[in-house]
């Protein structure tokens, strides 16, 4: 039973009981080498296929938000109505294909940002998020000055 102990321990260490649902979700999200980007309904489909049972949306929201609060997931800023989550919780950037809603990670060290203006009033910079929108080659490109 693949790495069950890892997920059980991780949950327990976070003060979350290792229930069937949380274990299934934990495996889906964290048994990966690659970053995983998802919406709640995508996760729901995968989870229900894995455990071969219905899983309530409330449970998915509860669990995802619990993981987010524990720092295992973060929310991505995108336009549109659905919330996207990311298993990569480090500060990093994305390619975003609006045609397919496909996200690809870009490590912070693979983009250089310089000449930042200073933050407004008494505010401090907490994070920088770069989203590079991509599309098929036949699309118009914006003027990037």
Element spanning 27, H or E: helix 20-30
Residue 4 contact among its own copies, DNA, none, beta carbon within 5 to 8 Å by kind: none
Site track 107-126 with DNA (rule: CB under 7 A), x = hit: --------------------
| Window 85-144: residues binding its own copies (CB under 8 A) | 90-91, 95, 97, 102, 104, 106, 108-117, 119-120, 122-137, 139-144
Element spanning 10, H or E: helix 4-13
Residue 55 sits in the site that holds DNA (CB under 7 A): yes
| Window 63-102: residues binding DNA (CB under 7 A) | 63, 65, 81-83
Beta pairing, strands 84-86 & 92-97: unpaired
| Window 39-78: residues binding its own copies (CB under 8 A) | 75-78
For 110, counting Cβ atoms within 10 Å of its Cβ (0-12 exposed, 13-18 middle, 19+ buried), the class is: exposed
Beta pairing, strands 37-38 & 84-86: antiparallel
Most distant pair of Cα atoms in the chain: their distance: 54
Q: Which residues bind its own copies (CB under 8 A)?
A: 75-79, 81, 83, 90-91, 95, 97, 102, 104, 106, 108-117, 119-120, 122-137, 139-145
């Amino acid at each position: 039973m693949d790495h069950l102990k890892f997920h059980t321990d991780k949950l327990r260490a976070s003060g979350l009981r290792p229930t069937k649902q949380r274990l299934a979700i934990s495996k889906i999200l964290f048994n990966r080498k690659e970053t995983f980007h998802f919406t709640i309904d995508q996760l729901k489909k995968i989870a229900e296929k894995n455990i071969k049972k219905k899983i309530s949306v409330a449970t998915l929201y509860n669990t995802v938000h619990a993981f987010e609060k524990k720092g295992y997931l973060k929310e991505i800023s995108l336009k549109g109505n659905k919330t996207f989550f990311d298993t990569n919780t480090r500060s990093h950037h994305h390619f975003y294909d609006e045609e397919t809603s496909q996200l690809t990670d870009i490590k912070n060290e693979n983009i250089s940002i310089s000449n930042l203006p200073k933050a407004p009033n008494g505010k401090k910079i907490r994070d920088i998020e770069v989203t590079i929108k991509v599309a098929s080659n036949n699309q118009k490109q914006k003027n990037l000055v």
